[in-house]
């Protein structure tokens, strides 16, 4: 049995396939970002999914693509956790950026971007990923991500910069007690995921002028820091992965046109395309 996983900060999608490359089942766990989730909690999030535990002895390989898996230490933590559970498996862990590449361009050169709970980008040259900078995560980077927009919404609310009609709806949608928010930001696990929950507010009110302006500003920052520095022309395919890009594709395409660029495709969830890729490349 082989497990293929696309692990974001908010959720992780798993697909099990047998030796005939046939899908056996798929499940979703909570996010497994080893850069922000303690190791004990990582383990709990896996063992609490009975479908995974039921086949732990049968799993021979795990291909895990994850947020927070771009540097050695988090990879080591996650690999140790998975090895303890799936003790018969060879475990391959790499960053979610590569999953985005395989799910979009396959093995063809392209600019590939993630706009989900976090954000990132790379240029895939057909052989390897070229990345201009190391991602420092949600506190410093992650432009136009769910946690980026969550921070903007909270700041505007508490600084009273949010329009009154939007402010009232925002209050009805969330617990905005300052102690509650600080508890989740500074004492609980996954503060990035907590911030991203506020971004969901934008989906319902995407036609509001205030929300549109917020999104345009975030997307403009993303292009400025994460796309334009690659200095690619309009002939280079550009793919986006993630719910933020998917639900606000029209605004994303508008910003792209400002820079004479065109979005090739937007994929909400990469797991299906990732499965197809692995079926073709697993011996």
Identify the CATH number of the domain in which residue 65 sits.
3.30.420.40
Residue at 262 is within a domain: no
- CA angle (95, 101, 107) in 5-degree steps: 125
Average pLDDT over residues 165-184: 95
pLDDT band at 190 (very low <50, low <70, confident <90, very high): confident
Q: What is the distance, to the nearest Å, from the Cα of residue 84 to the centroid of all Cα atoms in its chain? A: 25
The proportion of the chain whose per-residue pLDDT surpasses 70, expressed as a percent, equals 99
Q: Please determine, for residue 281, whether its predicted confidence score (pLDDT) is greater than 80.
A: no
Residue range(s) defining the domain that contains residue 40: 2-99+271-281
First to last CA, the chain: 13
Q: Please determine, for residue 283, whether its predicted confidence score (pLDDT) is greater than 70.
A: no
pLDDT tens by residue, 202-243: 998 989 999 999 999 999 999 999 999 999 988 999 999 999
Residue at 129 is within a domain: no
Residue at 217 is within a domain: no
pLDDT tens by residue, 47-57: 999 999 999 99
Q: Give the pair of three-digit tokens for residue 34.
A: 């080893």
Q: How many domains is the chain built from? A: 1
pTM of the model: 0.86
Rounded to whole angstroms, the Cα distance separating 44 from 220 reads: 38
Residue at 93 is within a domain: yes
Residue at 94 is within a domain: yes
- How high is the pLDDT of residue 60? 94
Average pLDDT over residues 31-45: 92
Average pLDDT over residues 170-183: 96
Average pLDDT over residues 248-272: 94
pLDDT tens by residue, 149-164: 999 999 999 999 999 9
pLDDT band at 182 (very low <50, low <70, confident <90, very high): very high
Rounded to whole angstroms, the Cα distance separating 15 from 25 reads: 6
Q: Please determine, for residue 64, whether its predicted confidence score (pLDDT) is greater than 80.
A: yes
Q: Please determine, for residue 282, whether its predicted confidence score (pLDDT) is greater than 80.
A: no
The proportion of the chain whose per-residue pLDDT surpasses 90, expressed as a percent, equals 76
Average pLDDT over residues 100-107: 89
Residue at 216 is within a domain: no
Nearest to 230 by CA among 114, 85, 124: 124
Residue at 33 is within a domain: yes
Can you say whether residue 242 is alpha, beta or left, with left for phi > 0 and alpha for psi between -120 and 50 degrees?
left
Mean pLDDT of the chain: 93
Residue at 82 is within a domain: yes
- How high is the pLDDT of residue 100? 92
């Amino acid at each position: 049995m082989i497990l293929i996983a696309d692990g974001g900060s908010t959720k992780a999608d798993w697909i099990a396939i047998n030796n005939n490359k046939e899908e056996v089942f798929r499940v979703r766990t909570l996010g497994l970002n080893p850069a922000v989730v303690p190791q004990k909690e990582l383990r709990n999030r896996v063992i609490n999914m009975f479908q995974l535990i039921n086949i732990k002895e049968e799993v021979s390989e795990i291909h895990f693509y994850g947020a927070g898996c771009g540097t050695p230490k988090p990879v080591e933590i996650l690999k140790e956790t998975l090895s303890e559970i799936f003790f018969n498996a060879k475990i391959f862990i790499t960053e979610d950026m590569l999953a985005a590449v395989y799910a979009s361009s396959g093995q063809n050169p392209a600019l590939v971007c993630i706009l989900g709970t976090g954000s990132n980008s790379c240029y895939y040259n057909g052989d390897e990923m070229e990345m201009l900078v190391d991602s420092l995560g949600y506190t410093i980077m992650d432009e136009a991500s769910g946690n980026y927009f969550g921070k903007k919404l909270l700041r505007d609310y508490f600084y009273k910069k949010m329009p009154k009609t939007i402010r009232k709806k925002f209050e009805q949608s969330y617990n905005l007690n300052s102690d509650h928010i600080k508890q989740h930001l500074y004492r609980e696990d996954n503060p990035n995921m907590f911030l991203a929950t506020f971004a969901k507010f934008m989906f319902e009110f995407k036609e509001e002028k205030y929300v549109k302006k917020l999104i345009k500003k975030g997307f403009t920052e993303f292009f400025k820091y994460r796309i334009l520095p690659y200095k690619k022309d309009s002939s280079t395919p550009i793919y986006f992965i993630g719910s933020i890009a998917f639900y606000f594709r029209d605004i994303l395409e508008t910003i792209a046109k400002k820079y004479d660029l065109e979005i090739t495709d937007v994929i909400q969830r990469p797991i299906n395309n990732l499965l197809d890729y692995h079926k073709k490349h697993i011996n």
